[in-house]
């Protein structure tokens, strides 16, 4: 599978990694996704083969992955047909739970 960072710039992504102490967790997740063989063809297959904490966010096309236990969250769009994972947001569990105001 292909893992794509959908972020405003790679520089800002790296700064965010460093500020959250998240780099190793997401790099490990990326490695698992990129090396999955055979490529997952469905939600259930991805969950079983790549990342057991994958959850569908109800009412959206997004998926949530816990990173480093439950300390961080990564929000992704996954196209199982083309084998592409788009990372659209990541942050701490507390940030994830903040209501939008």
Q: Identify the DSSP state of 93.
A: H
Q: Which domains are assigned to the chain?
A: 2-95 (3.30.2310.20)
pLDDT one-digit tens code per residue, 31-63: 777 777 777 788 888 888 888 888 999 999 899
Q: Which of 15-24, 58-67, 89-98 has the highest mean pLDDT?
A: 58-67
Mean pLDDT of the region 11-28: 65
Q: Which residue has the higher pLDDT, 94 or 46?
A: 46
Starting at the edge strand found earlier in the chain, the sheet holding 84-92 runs 2-5, 84-92, 72-79, 62-67, 55-56
Mean pLDDT for all residues in the chain: 76
């Amino acid at each position: 599978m292909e893992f794509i960072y959908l972020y405003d710039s790679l520089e800002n992504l790296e700064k965010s990694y460093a500020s959250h102490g998240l780099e190793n967790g997401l790099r490990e997740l990326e490695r698992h996704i990129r090396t999955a063989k055979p490529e997952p063809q469905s939600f259930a297959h991805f969950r079983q083969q790549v990342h057991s904490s994958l959850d569908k966010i109800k009412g959206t096309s997004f998926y949530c992955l816990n990173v480093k236990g439950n300390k961080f969250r990564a929000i992704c769009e996954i196209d199982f047909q083309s084998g592409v994972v788009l990372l659209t947001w990541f942050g701490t569990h507390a940030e994830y739970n903040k209501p939008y105001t």
